[in-house]
Chain A
Amino acid sequence: MNYMPGTASLIDDIDKKHLVLLRDGRTLIGFLRSIDQFANLVFHQTVERIHVGKKFGDIPRGIFIVRGENVVLLGEIDIDKLCDHILQQVSIEEILEEQRLQQQAKQKTEKAKVTALKDRGLSIPKADNLDEY
């Protein structure tokens, strides 16, 4: 705010730890190093955090450059106020496995739903590619 009072700007967020949610559903946590006028973000020491249920796993990713249009939301993380007691951190392999299982289960239910609808003569178009419409 010190640059432009009354406006919202990312300049004051630089060098702080942030959590960003991307349009494809990924969650990245890292130190915001650089921005530009399109809100393209440069993240440092980025970690991709995968949440499955109450578990989460961090995959270190290094340096990320995110194109501004793919950001859903972005928020600063309070470093001091640390982690949750609710969420449980697990290893990367475990979380990936959990994610895979989750995807599988989801697909199964989706498939069942689609067949059920088809039997009744209805069809709902898949919404997974709405963005690329």
Chain B
Amino acid sequence: MFRFQSLDEDCTLEKEEGLVEEEDEIDQFNDDTFGDGAIDDDWQEEHKRLAELEERKNEGLGGLGLGGLGMGGMGGGDASTVQLPPPASRVPHPSSLPPPHHSLSSMPPPGLEDRGGGDLAESLAMLILGADPAIASVGGPTGPGDRSTGLPPPPSMPQQHQLPPHQQLTPSGLPPGPLHPSLLSYQQHQHLLRRGGPPMQQMNSHNIWENNMGFGPVSVTPGLVTQMEDSPLMSIIKEVGLPNRPPPVMSEDGRDLSERAPPPRSSSPVIGSPPVRAVPIGTPPKQPMSHAMNHHQQIHHPTTVHVRAPVHHQHRYPPSFPERISPNTLLNMANSPLCRPPFPAGVGPVLSQIQRAQMLNSQVAGFPRGCQGPPLLPGGGGFRPFFGQPPPHRMGPHHNHVPCPIIRHNTTHLHPQHRRMLTQRMQSRGGERGGRVGDWRSRDPYSNLMTQREKEWVAKIQMMQLQSTDPYLDDYYYQNYFEKMEKRQERDRDGVRKEHTTKLITPQVAKLEHTYRPVQFAGSLGKLTVSSVNNPRKMIDTVVTSRTDDEEKREKQVWNKRRQILYTVEKMYSLLLEVQDFEKRFMQTPEEQREALLEQHKTHTLQLYASLREKEWDDRVSDEQCLLIMSVRKGKRLISRLIPFLPPLQAAAVVMGIARNLPALAKKDKQDQALCWLVEPVAVVISSLSSAALTDLLQELQGSEGQLSKVLQNKFGVTLLYLILSEGERMQSSDLNCQLMDDNRWTELVFSVTRELLNVPPSSLSPPLFTPPNLLSLFSRYVDRQRLELLQEKLQISSLSR
């Protein structure tokens, strides 16, 4: 786990803050991979020292009679094999191992164990005695003698190494009953299984060391009591544990490895994700479990209930264990201080009232350690030797050579930063005073896994989501609710007490519009488009064109008018259709109803005309109306169909109207020339016109100045003109008494027409639909030969008709 974490970039962070030397770090990592037995201090030196001891011992002392201890009972081989996994995993460093280590680890299980174990124990004891002046002063010479009473076969080297560096005098509570498997760690469990539950009696041999390790359950064996009792040294040894030089890490810069606190987080580049931890939160410390496993068959010392004082050098060893028992220690007590753990509780609460009070006291008071040790043991359990006041005194003079037994609760195998964080956390926790809750929380070894910083971080994210520029828009219901609440409170209080509920104040951050400006490199063509969630790619370049109100109104008006015209046209059409169908219906209806039908028909036709004509004048078509209707294609068609049904007079009026408005109509008709539909009916009408009417028509057609030219531009206009002219010609030629010539109008008109025809450039003269044949004869009447020829050419009038 640790190793895995170290693969990412946090590794560098660790290197900066954490370990001092590369080598140490590597060793650290390697140690971690060794599993539970791995330690983080320099085992090499330890090995050397112990090796020296071993040699010295081998020279000086003989083998100790440790038969009584019965290594075999321990599951002899198991004892060493159990601890062998760690050393086994250290096989990568075989070369550096001093020979004694090898000899120890490769001992044949039952036979030499006694001896080797005794040797080691003795050497260790000597080390302790030699190292610690206090102990030495107490019972130096009797050391070996004591050993004879039954030093346990030593734990394997790794354990030895573990012992020295940290004064494992952490208090350990002992469960009153058998351990529940679920409460032990996995490794503990394994050890248990492997060991097969060693008999109690045999565990006494491990007494010192295991006690000094400070974990694990301890059971009482009466047999050993006497043994234990009679050696003050033993008790002292038990008390003191195995002092040793502090781990190099510690000595370097006083960094402390906190047991459970994770190393500091690196700031994560990813927004919204918590900073990464090198060691995952809640990484259980590596060491204690194995120890617990080893020591779970500890023997109670019936006499003294000692509390081990947490020792700590302020400057050198930052508070490793300020006020509390290490969580793992507590766990090793086979219980968690949490009331009613979720697991089936096989054990009762760990700490007795006194101990709890003591712990609370020590924590709440924020004790600078060293004074009051946390209570170690439950009432019924085993206990650790008590270490009273001494450590603080001895701090000063002693931290040079031998580290005083410092209670470093199971922190050896933690990453240095981890340890430091844990101590910091414990410090901060020491200030907690929240009554019962605080008490309960502080007793929870896993509390505050989420640091204050993390909590603030989550809170910050939640706050960010609450920011808004328009709270009533974003969170209407909450605002209302809050107002109601405030009013209610005011009402309740009546202003007696000015107690205001805390109101959440969120920063009013103006929401800035961030427009995406594509990244552009200097000197490059085009722009990079990197799309992300926050600036998505532009799919379509949409441009909003908003029309102004005026324009809208005008457009609307136009549309409305057109709609109206169309509506009128439609209505007229319906009438027209009925008129058209009249014939058919007439045939079908019986005689009686024919009269009615006829009437109806007449009405319709009148109606039709009525819609066209002028308000007052009956015989004149309303220009406006006509224009409107004719502006629509359908309207033109309508008129063309309508004319045949109209009475002659009215029809003539319509045609007149058309002629009158022809320029306008022509202009509108440029596109689709729908006027041409009108040719046929108009022709019919013209042929029925009187001469006067004809003249009038021609006059209308000519209308104002310049009208004719416009007319000529239009096909229909030209055609109409021709029609008129040809009609006039026909009149003249057919009827000698034609009144056409009576007044000069006709002549003048024709003259003007011819003039116009001659003047008009050919391009603007649109070809007619058809050219009446008698035009030539008409023109020949009025113009001379020269002009006639010109006209002929222009109009492409063939003289074939002649």
The total of chain A residues at the interface (CB under 8 A) is: 30
Q: Is B526 an interface residue (CB 8 A)?
A: no
Are B339 and A79 in touch, CB under 8 angstroms? Answer: yes
| B455 partner residues in chain A, CB cutoff 8 A | 3, 11, 14
A31-46 CB contacts (< 8 Å) to partner B: 31, 33-37, 42, 44-46
Shortest A31–chain B CB gap in Å is: 7
A1-51 CB contacts (< 8 Å) to partner B: 1, 3-7, 9, 11, 14-15, 17, 29-31, 33-37, 42, 44-47
Are B448 and A6 in touch, CB under 8 angstroms? Answer: no
Bound state CA distance, A3 and B466, in angstroms?
13
Q: Which residue on B lies nearest to A91, using beta carbons?
A: B344
Q: Is A82 an interface residue (CB 8 A)?
A: yes
Report the tally of A-B residue pairs with Cβ distances under 8 A. 86
| A80 partner residues in chain B, CB cutoff 8 A | 339
Could you say which of A9, A36, A45 contacts B274, with CB atoms under 8 Å apart? A36
| B272 partner residues in chain A, CB cutoff 8 A | 37
| B182 partner residues in chain A, CB cutoff 8 A | 60
Could you say which of A34, A46, A58 contacts B281, with CB atoms under 8 Å apart? A34
Are B446 and A37 in touch, CB under 8 angstroms? Answer: no
| A37 partner residues in chain B, CB cutoff 8 A | 272, 458, 461-462
B260-284 CB contacts (< 8 Å) to partner A: 272, 274, 281-282
Q: Is A71 an interface residue (CB 8 A)?
A: no
Are A9 and B459 in touch, CB under 8 angstroms? Answer: yes
Could you say which of B338, B447, B458, B502 contacts A11, with CB atoms under 8 Å apart? B458
Shortest A9–chain B CB gap in Å is: 6
Are A4 and B462 in touch, CB under 8 angstroms? Answer: yes
Bound state CA distance, A31 and B339, in angstroms?
12
Are B339 and A5 in touch, CB under 8 angstroms? Answer: no
Shortest A94–chain B CB gap in Å is: 13
Could you say which of A7, A29, A30, A82 contacts B462, with CB atoms under 8 Å apart? A7
Bound state CA distance, A6 and B502, in angstroms?
7
| A82 partner residues in chain B, CB cutoff 8 A | 340
| A34 partner residues in chain B, CB cutoff 8 A | 281, 449-450, 454
| A66 partner residues in chain B, CB cutoff 8 A | none
Q: Is B482 an interface residue (CB 8 A)?
A: yes
Q: Is B619 an interface residue (CB 8 A)?
A: no
B471-516 CB contacts (< 8 Å) to partner A: 478, 482, 501-504
Bound state CA distance, A100 and B589, in angstroms?
89
Are B446 and A33 in touch, CB under 8 angstroms? Answer: yes
Answer whether A15 and B448 are a contact pair too, CB < 8 Å, given A3-B459, A4-B459, A37-B272: yes
Could you say which of B343, B446, B450, B456 contacts A60, with CB atoms under 8 Å apart? B343
Q: Is A63 an interface residue (CB 8 A)?
A: yes
Are B449 and A45 in touch, CB under 8 angstroms? Answer: no
Shortest B273–chain A CB gap in Å is: 9
Bound state CA distance, A34 and B455, in angstroms?
9
Could you say which of B343, B446, B482 contacts A31, with CB atoms under 8 Å apart? B446
Bound state CA distance, A80 and B344, in angstroms?
17
Q: Which residue on A lies nearest to B504, using beta carbons?
A: A6
Are A35 and B342 in touch, CB under 8 angstroms? Answer: no
| B340 partner residues in chain A, CB cutoff 8 A | 79, 82
Bound state CA distance, A30 and B343, in angstroms?
10
Q: Is B362 an interface residue (CB 8 A)?
A: no
Shortest A75–chain B CB gap in Å is: 15
| B339 partner residues in chain A, CB cutoff 8 A | 79-80
Shortest B274–chain A CB gap in Å is: 7
Q: Is B57 an interface residue (CB 8 A)?
A: no
Bound state CA distance, A30 and B338, in angstroms?
11
Shortest A125–chain B CB gap in Å is: 36
Are B501 and A5 in touch, CB under 8 angstroms? Answer: yes
Bound state CA distance, A17 and B501, in angstroms?
28
Q: Which residue on A lies nearest to B485, using beta carbons?
A: A6
Shortest B370–chain A CB gap in Å is: 28
Are B444 and A15 in touch, CB under 8 angstroms? Answer: yes
B300-328 CB contacts (< 8 Å) to partner A: none
Are A44 and B458 in touch, CB under 8 angstroms? Answer: no
Shortest A108–chain B CB gap in Å is: 33
Answer whether A6 and B454 are a contact pair too, CB < 8 Å, given A37-B461, A45-B343: no
Answer whether A60 and B504 are a contact pair too, CB < 8 Å, given A4-B459, A34-B449, A35-B450: no
Shortest B265–chain A CB gap in Å is: 13
Q: Is B232 an interface residue (CB 8 A)?
A: no
Bound state CA distance, A42 and B447, in angstroms?
12
Are B446 and A44 in touch, CB under 8 angstroms? Answer: yes
Q: Which residue on A lies nearest to B461, using beta carbons?
A: A37
| A15 partner residues in chain B, CB cutoff 8 A | 441, 444, 446-449
Q: Is B341 an interface residue (CB 8 A)?
A: yes
Bound state CA distance, A33 and B448, in angstroms?
8
Q: Is B211 an interface residue (CB 8 A)?
A: no
Bound state CA distance, A83 and B336, in angstroms?
19
Bound state CA distance, A1 and B441, in angstroms?
18
Could you say which of B274, B461, B482 contacts A6, with CB atoms under 8 Å apart? B482
Are A63 and B459 in touch, CB under 8 angstroms? Answer: no
Shortest A41–chain B CB gap in Å is: 11
Are B448 and A4 in touch, CB under 8 angstroms? Answer: no
Q: Is B463 an interface residue (CB 8 A)?
A: yes
Contact with A along B320-364 (1 / 0, CB 8 A): 000000000000000010111111100000000000000000000
Shortest B151–chain A CB gap in Å is: 38
Bound state CA distance, A31 and B503, in angstroms?
30
Shortest A117–chain B CB gap in Å is: 43
Shortest B460–chain A CB gap in Å is: 9
| B504 partner residues in chain A, CB cutoff 8 A | 4-7
Are A47 and B450 in touch, CB under 8 angstroms? Answer: no
Shortest B436–chain A CB gap in Å is: 9
Which of B340, B447, B458, B466 has the most chain A CB atoms inside 10 A of its CB? B458
Are A45 and B338 in touch, CB under 8 angstroms? Answer: yes
| B448 partner residues in chain A, CB cutoff 8 A | 15
Bound state CA distance, A42 and B282, in angstroms?
11
Are A58 and B482 in touch, CB under 8 angstroms? Answer: no
| B282 partner residues in chain A, CB cutoff 8 A | 33, 44, 63
Q: Which residue on B lies nearest to A2, using beta carbons?
A: B502
| B338 partner residues in chain A, CB cutoff 8 A | 17, 31, 45, 79
Could you say which of A1, A6, A29 contacts B342, with CB atoms under 8 Å apart? A29
Bound state CA distance, A60 and B344, in angstroms?
8
A62-80 CB contacts (< 8 Å) to partner B: 63, 79-80
Shortest B207–chain A CB gap in Å is: 32
Pairs across A and B, CB under 8 Å, 17 listed = A4-B459, A4-B466, A5-B504, A6-B478, A6-B501, A6-B503, A6-B504, A9-B458, A9-B459, A14-B450, A33-B450, A37-B272, A37-B462, A46-B342, A60-B344, A79-B338, A79-B339
List 16 additional contacts besides A31-B444, A36-B274, A79-B339; criterion CB under 8 Å: A3-B455, A4-B466, A5-B503, A9-B459, A11-B458, A15-B446, A15-B447, A15-B449, A33-B446, A33-B450, A34-B449, A44-B282, A47-B342, A47-B343, A58-B342, A60-B344
Q: Which 6 A/B pairs are nearest by Cβ-Cβ distance?
A: A5-B502, A47-B342, A6-B504, A37-B461, A3-B459, A15-B447
